Amino acid sequence: MKVLFHVNESERWPRVLLNTTNFIKDVGSGKAEIEIVANGEGVSGYVEQANPDLMTKMGELAEDGVKFAACRNALNMHDISEQSLPSFVKVVPAGITEIVNKQAAGFAYIKP
């Protein structure tokens, strides 16, 4: 099973992380490839000081194999430096390209 979650509003992060957690509980740890792609204002969720609880939860999911990506265009637009991101976040040149490529590779798309 392969699934990509798309986040472009930071207020959606709690919902996305809950969806991801419940999905893993249902199918079993390690049974699915999961990637969460943030673009637009959604990349604000990766600012640790603003969201310590979210960041803790993201870190736990990352340890469980969930991949996190951030759109470079969005980081630039929101004045977030790549160096400030947690180490588990992969920066991609354009979030939309990442989403298109993943769907072409068989990932289901979910917009929570």
Element (H, E) at 94: none
Per-residue H/E/C for 28-69: CCCCCEEEEEECHHHHHHHCHHHCHHHHHHHHHHHHCCCEEE
Query: Are the C-beta atoms of residues 30 and 24 closer than 8 Å to each other?
Result: no
In the complex, minimum distance from the CB of residue 1 to a second copy, in angstroms, rounded to a whole number: 5
Nearer to a second copy, 17 or 89 (CB): 17
Catalog residues that contact a second copy under the rule CB under 8 A. Answer: 1-3, 6, 8, 15, 18-20, 22-23, 25-27, 32, 39-40, 71, 73, 93-97, 99-101, 103-104, 106, 108-112
Comparing CB distances to a second copy, the nearer of 79 and 86 is 79
Our CB check for a second copy shows the closer of 47 and 96 to be: 96
- Contacts of residue 83, Cβ cutoff 8 Å, sequence gap at least 6: none
Least separation, in Å, of the C-beta of 7 and a second copy?
11
